[in-house]
Structure 1
Amino acid sequence: MTQKDATQTFPDKLLSGYQRFMQGRYADERDRYRDLAEAGQKPHTLIVACCDSRAAPETVFNSGPGELFVVRNVANLVPPYAPDGEYHSTSAALEFAVQSLRIRDIVVMGHGRCGGISAALDPGLKPLSPGDFIGRWMGLLKPVAAELQNSSLLTTAERQTALERISIRHSIENLRSFPCISILEEQKKLRIHGAWFDISTGELWVMDWKTGDFIRPDH
């Protein structure tokens, strides 16, 4: 395959986007990118976010290169600490961010209309593949989801939003099951936060660390 053939198989939208990036942002921040390449990254915040293409943390927080260390998975979940020799992508990223990059803040950011949360609330949903990877992953929320499913006082939309926010608190509890995180938090060398982004309105809600309630911050 020639270089031209290889280029033609690559998505046109990505190539045109890359051209705009090189002509715009990269051109404006060329020195910054070079400094990051030579000195390495020193992000100030780790964000655990959803894979959803509509809720990219770098876009929501208008961040520049090197500022955020972002971990994205289905429904922005953090699994509990489990040093069992299996493959743990999210746990590995947490370990690297905390132990190597020495980040000072961790944010678990959920969002409205999350497909993973919707799947967790649908007990009749069929697996997308024999491996049922999404079903197994969302099983982390199974006990909480079951409680909401059994509540006749909530509408479908209310259950969705409730679990989106409850899952953030649940993930924060799991974060604290990691010794490297809980120890640093106790020493006040690390802070943990929760946030929920409403795709339809652009509103950001942050979790009150005392009550667990989500509030809109004053700007």
Structure 2
Amino acid sequence: MHSFPQHLLDGHANFMSGRYSRERDRYRDLASAGQTPTTLMIACCDSRAAPEMIFDAGPGEMFVLRNVANLVPTYQPDGGQHGTSAAIEFAIKGLNIANIVVMGHGRCGGIKAALDPAMKPLDSGDFIGKWMSMLGELPSQLGQNDLLTASERQTAMERISIRNSIRNLRTFPYVAALEQEGQLAIHGAWFDISSGELWVMDESGDFIRPAL
């Protein structure tokens, strides 16, 4: 049996002597009273785009759902095992979340795979390919525009994917109802890993850089 990675143990020791020591009372309150986050963050599992770091969030402030390419499927109560849909259901029905943020990021590997029809599966199961297929024809439609460079096409698809996930979110009946009633707000965001810039969707769907 392999020993537990030492760098993780070292990191936990730093956590205990640093952040946990400073916020001990808060962690104990969260343990006894439970969590009451106001925001569901749907982000990519890419290790370079951690929402808690990007938004400087403390413990208990955000309910974070991460998957490949921050995708949201349509509402499908078909008896299947839907991890992303289960997390959305719990956030809305169990935690009474007031905000949902779908956050994509630059240089997303899942989006890159979706844009490259020649890319071979990493394994015979091709879970990534099947997961990314929920984008439908959007990658191939964008790929037909030969006036875009590869990086422009990638960024465009990352942002289109955010809009697509938001559209899929609204197929969940309780999400659509709460949004219509003004009890839930849905937002889109895109994070640039290289520069640290955050772009957010305005009411028209355009991505803009908010004033700091």
Please, what TM-score do these two structures have when normalized by structure 1?
0.95
Contact 1:47 1:70 in 2 (8 A): yes
Q: Which residues of structure 2 form unaligned runs of 5+?
A: none
Pair 1:178 & 2:172 matched: yes
Shift of 1:142: 3.1
Aligned residue in 2 for 1:20: 14
Pair 1:107 & 2:101 matched: yes
Separation of aligned partners in 1, 2:199 and 2:62? 19
Aligned residue in 1 for 2:51: 57
Q: Percent identity?
A: 66
Shift of 1:44: 1.1
Q: Which residues of structure 1 form unaligned runs of 5+?
A: 1-5
Separation of aligned partners in 1, 2:146 and 2:211? 34
Q: Deviations over 1:121-170 (max 9, x none)?
A: 00011111111000000001131101111111111001100000000000
Shift of 1:38: 0.3
Secondary structure of 2:136's aligned partner: helix
Separation of aligned partners in 1, 2:201 and 2:6? 40
Contact 1:45 1:105 in 2 (8 A): yes
Secondary structure of 1:146's aligned partner: helix
Contact 1:49 1:72 in 2 (8 A): yes
Q: Paired residue for 1:147, among 141, 144, 149?
A: 141
Separation of aligned partners in 2, 1:119 and 1:141? 12
Alignment of 1:35-74 (within 5 A): 35-74=29-68
Separation of aligned partners in 2, 1:120 and 1:187? 35
Q: Paired residue for 1:131, among 122, 125, 128?
A: 125
Please, what TM-score do these two structures have when normalized by structure 2?
0.99
Pair 1:217 & 2:173 matched: no
- Please identify runs of 4+ aligned residues in structure 1 that moved more than 2 A: none
Q: Deviations over 1:16-64 (max 9, x none)?
A: 0000000000000000000000000000100000000000000000000
Report the residue type matching 1:216 in the other structure: R
Aligned residue in 2 for 1:205: 199
Contact 1:120 1:142 in 2 (8 A): no
